[in-house]
Every structure is written in C-alpha cells, then in structure tokens.
C-alpha cells in the first residue's frame, strides 16, 4: 500500500487559514455542525475526533512531502497514521513544519532529518505533479483507492465493495510462478 499526494484544498495559503473561516466559506454559518455526525460515527469505531481543537485548515503540500520522505524511509503507513491522529484528534497544525517534524519523529523518523528535508524544496515538485496527475485522472476527493493500477474506487466503501475491486483488479493476471 502507498499513500499518494492529493490536496483537498490546493488553494489554501502555505501557512494555512483559520479553520472557522474555511468552514464558513465552504458550508456557510453553522457549518461546524456538519462534523457532529462524523464525530459520532468515529466514536462507534473507536476514533475520538476532536474537530473543535482544529484551529488551522492547512495547506497540505508539506504534509504530503513528509509522507513522501517517510515512504523513502519505509515508514509511510506509520507517518500517515501519526498525521491523521495529530490533526483529527489533537488539532495540530499540519501547515507548521516544526509540528510536522515532531509528527515524523513520533512515527519513527529522525526529527532533525525531517526538519532539514522540510526546510528545503525537496519533494515539492514531485508532490505537486502527482496531485495534478490525480486530478487529470478524474480523482476529485479522498479516500480514493487504486488497486493493481487498474481499478479505482472513490469514497468510503463497505469492505465487500473493496474486496470486489481487488478481485477485479487481479482478474486475468498471470499466475505466479511456483
């Protein structure tokens, strides 16, 4: 499994923007109420979403750069989980490079190496190109799953739907050699 770059809000400034402003612009006054249902569903599966703690709606280029760096270090899954936890349950600012370096360290990466990487432009063009490529392929949101580079499934789906997509993606594949 690999996490590929896709920004939900590519037009947000590099430093992010106030979450309340973002929500009101997107959903109108009272837009924060839309997250009550998601929080309730999260509780049912053991995720304590704390949307009220999120103060900054981030531009996620640097978070995606962190995921790319983590992939090279074979820590991408751990880093993705640490990013999700930091943002959705702790309300941490994913537009802040020091915060991202701390998150990388929690995922088992060398904090100083992550900070140095994020201070450079390394991986920026790769992330932006991959994001454009995803949009050009018709991807408009997340989650979006691509199985075996053949079958795409958009949105949160039931396990059976994902299993069918996996099976479809391996259909007509040559059998592995014994």
The per-residue pLDDT for range 89-148, each reduced to its tens digit, is: 999 999 999 999 999 999 999 999 999 999 999 999 999 999 999 999 888 888 888 899
User: Is pLDDT above 80 for 175?
Assistant: no
pLDDT for residue 141: 84
- Range(s) within the chain of domains with CATH label 3.40.30.10: 17-134
pLDDT for residue 172: 66
Confidence of residue 155 (pLDDT cuts 50, 70, 90): confident
Beta-carbon contacts of 98 under 8 Å, excluding residues fewer than 6 positions away, are: 115
pLDDT for residue 70: 98
Mean pLDDT for the stretch of residues 72-91: 97
Superfamily of domain 17-134, CATH level 4: Glutaredoxin (3.40.30.10)
**31 vs 23, higher pLDDT:** 23
Percent of the chain with pLDDT over 90: 70
pLDDT for residue 173: 66
């Amino acid at each position: 499994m690999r996490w590929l770059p896709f920004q939900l809000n590519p037009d947000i400034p590099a430093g992010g923007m106030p979450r309340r402003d973002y929500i009101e612009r997107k959903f109108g006054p009272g837009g924060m109420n839309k997250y009550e249902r998601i929080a309730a569903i999260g509780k049912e599966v053991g995720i304590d979403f704390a949307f009220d703690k999120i103060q900054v709606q981030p531009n996620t280029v640097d978070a995606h750069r962190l995921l790319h760096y983590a992939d090279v270090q074979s820590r991408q899954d751990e880093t993705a989980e640490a990013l999700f936890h930091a943002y959705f349950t702790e309300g941490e600012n994913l537009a802040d490079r020091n915060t991202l370096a701390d998150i990388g360290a929690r995922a088992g990466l060398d904090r100083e190496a992550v900070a140095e990487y994020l201070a450079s432009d390394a991986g920026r063009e790769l992330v932006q190109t991959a994001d454009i490529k995803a949009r050009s392929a018709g991807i408009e949101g997340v989650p979006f799953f691509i199985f075996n580079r053949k079958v795409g499934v958009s949105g949160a789906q039931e396990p059976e739907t994902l299993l069918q997509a996996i099976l479809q993606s391996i259909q007509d594949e040559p059998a592995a050699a014994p």
